[in-house]
Amino acid sequence: MTKLVKPYGDTMNDGKIQLSFTLPVEWSEAADEAARQLVTKMGFTDAAVAEGRRIAAGFSFFVVYASTPQAVDVESIKAPSAREHAMTMEQVDDFVMTQIGRKIRIAGACIGTDAHTVGIDAILNMKGYKGDYGLERYHSFETYNLGSQIAPEDLVRYARENRIDAILASQVVTQKGSDVKNFTELVELLEAEGLRDAVVAICGGPRVTNLMASELGYDAGFGRGTLPSEVAAFVAVTLAERLKRQEKVTGRAGV
C-alpha cells in the first residue's frame, strides 16, 4: 500500500512550500528576481518572492513561496525511534535495580570545539527539561557531565579509565558537517580501543535523528525535544539486554 503526500499550503496536495536563503548580493529588485529564478531552476513552479531585504553589505535575505510537483510515499519509509521504551524516573530506577543490580555509570560531553552545552545539560543536570528530571536526579545512575569542547579521544579515555557504561555525545554546531565528523571520530575511537561493545553509545543534537545515528554506528540518536527520561529508559533497557547476552556467552553475570 502506498500513501503519496505533498506539502499542504492553501489546499490539499497543492505542493506549496516556503524557502528562505541568503544570496551574496546587494538587495535590489533585480536581486528579488534572481532569487525567484534560482528557485525556479531548483524545479519549483509558481515561485514568488514574499520577502527580500538587505541584511549586510553585499548580502540579501529572501523568503520565497513556490510549489513542488514532487510527492513522497510515507508508507515506504522506515525510521525506528529510540523513544519506544517510555518509563518514568521511578520506573527506570526500579528497572535498573531489578535487571542490572547496580548503578549505571554514564558520561556525557559536548565534543569537538562545540561550546553549546544546552542539550547535554538538559539531559544530565538534575533540573532536567520541561519538568522531566535529569539523570543526576536518578538513584540508578552515576552521572558525569564533562562539559564542553571535549575532544573525542578524551571522552574515550575517560570512559576506559572510569568503566563507563554509556556515553552521550552532543553536538549543537553543525557547520560544514562538523557534527558528523566528530561523531564518526568518536565511534571509530571506541572501536579502535575495543570499547564499542562495552558501552551504550548515544549521540544527540538538534539535527540528529535515530536513523542518522544508526548509520554512524551508534546505538541511538536523540534530536530536538528529547526528554531525560527517554534517554534514561533507552540506556537502561539496552544495557540490561547487552549484559544478559554477555552472560549467556561467558556464563558469568555482567558487571
Residues acting as catalytic residues: 127
Q: Quick one: which H or E segment has residue 18?
A: strand 16-23
Beta-strand relationship, 104-110 and 166-170: parallel
First to last CA, the chain: 47
**Distance between CA atoms of 142 and 107, rounded to whole angstroms?**
8
Cell of 152: 573525542
What is residue 105's three-state secondary structure?
strand
Main-chain dihedrals φ then ψ at residue 7, nearest 5 degrees: -55, 145
